[in-house]
Amino acid sequence: MEVAPCLREMMEEEVVFAYGPERRIETRRMVVLKNDRWIGAEAIVQRIEFLGIDAVAKWRFPKPWMPKELDEEFRARRTYVEAKALMRALSLGIPVPQLLYVDDRCGLLVESFVEGVLLRDAVPKLGDDELCSICRELGTYLAGLHGAGVVHGDPTTSNVVLSNGVPHLIDFGLAELNATLDDLAIDVHIFFRSVESTHRDRENIMKRCFVEGYRSIAGEERTHLVLLRVERIRRFGRYVSDREVKMEWSF
């Protein structure tokens, strides 16, 4: 099983834990691999135990088809930006995984594992009021990030975990910093498209409540500008039906 070299090194290291008021001493491996593993086009995500914490390790592996220096620069930058975006989200009080370790030269990022169910899978089981509340909350999350110049990059219902009833944003792998108005609009557009493609029967309520939440943080004028840009972006599509570009909310 392919493992990041820097992660493999940590698997060989031992750390000493002191537990409880009696300071009971126990030695453990710094990193212990678990069975769950996901392989994507850009990275391998591995469930691990990191310093006794249930976590995931995300390793952007080398791409043999890219020039070595360009590949190293790309992986280091994407890892740095993802970590920075997570830290900004945490500083804003947005529920996201806790950042535990970063090695951008290796392309490795370790974060806490968020236990729960994907919003994508939960939507069919949620009542309208609960679904509206969750989407409104997601709108506040995205507006908060956007106000700090951060875009998530892939805010779909597959990247939201409901943990103890609280929506958590996960996977900031496509995040960007210093976002432009177009970047903000693309972020919102991606959420809308995920709703339209996966939850069409709940589309109106999910969009409306998301916009309500977004507006509550971004304000009327900023929201208006972003939604106008979303509409323009949606009309750029070559094969988009009138229904798909129709805005389901009022300005």
Write out the catalytic residue numbers: 154
Q: Which residues contact 212 (CB under 8 A, 6 or more apart)?
A: 136, 139
Quick one: 70 exposed, middle or buried, by C-beta within 10 A (0-12, 13-18, 19+)? exposed
* Cα separation, 68 vs 178, whole angstroms: 27
Q: What SS3 class is residue 4? A: coil
Determine the topology of domain 5-112 in CATH.
Answer: Phosphorylase Kinase; domain 1 (3.30.200)
Between helices 203-218 and 181-198, what is the axis angle to 10°? 160
Q: Where are the domains of the chain?
A: 5-112, 117-245
- Residues 135-145 have pLDDT tens digits of 999 999 999 99
Q: Give me the pLDDT at residue 247, please.
A: 54
Q: What is the pLDDT of residues 38-88, one digit of tens each?
A: 888 889 999 999 998 999 999 999 998 999 999 999 999 999 999 999 999
Q: Which fold has domain 117-245?
A: Transferase(Phosphotransferase); domain 1 (1.10.510)
Please state the pTM of the whole predicted model: 0.89
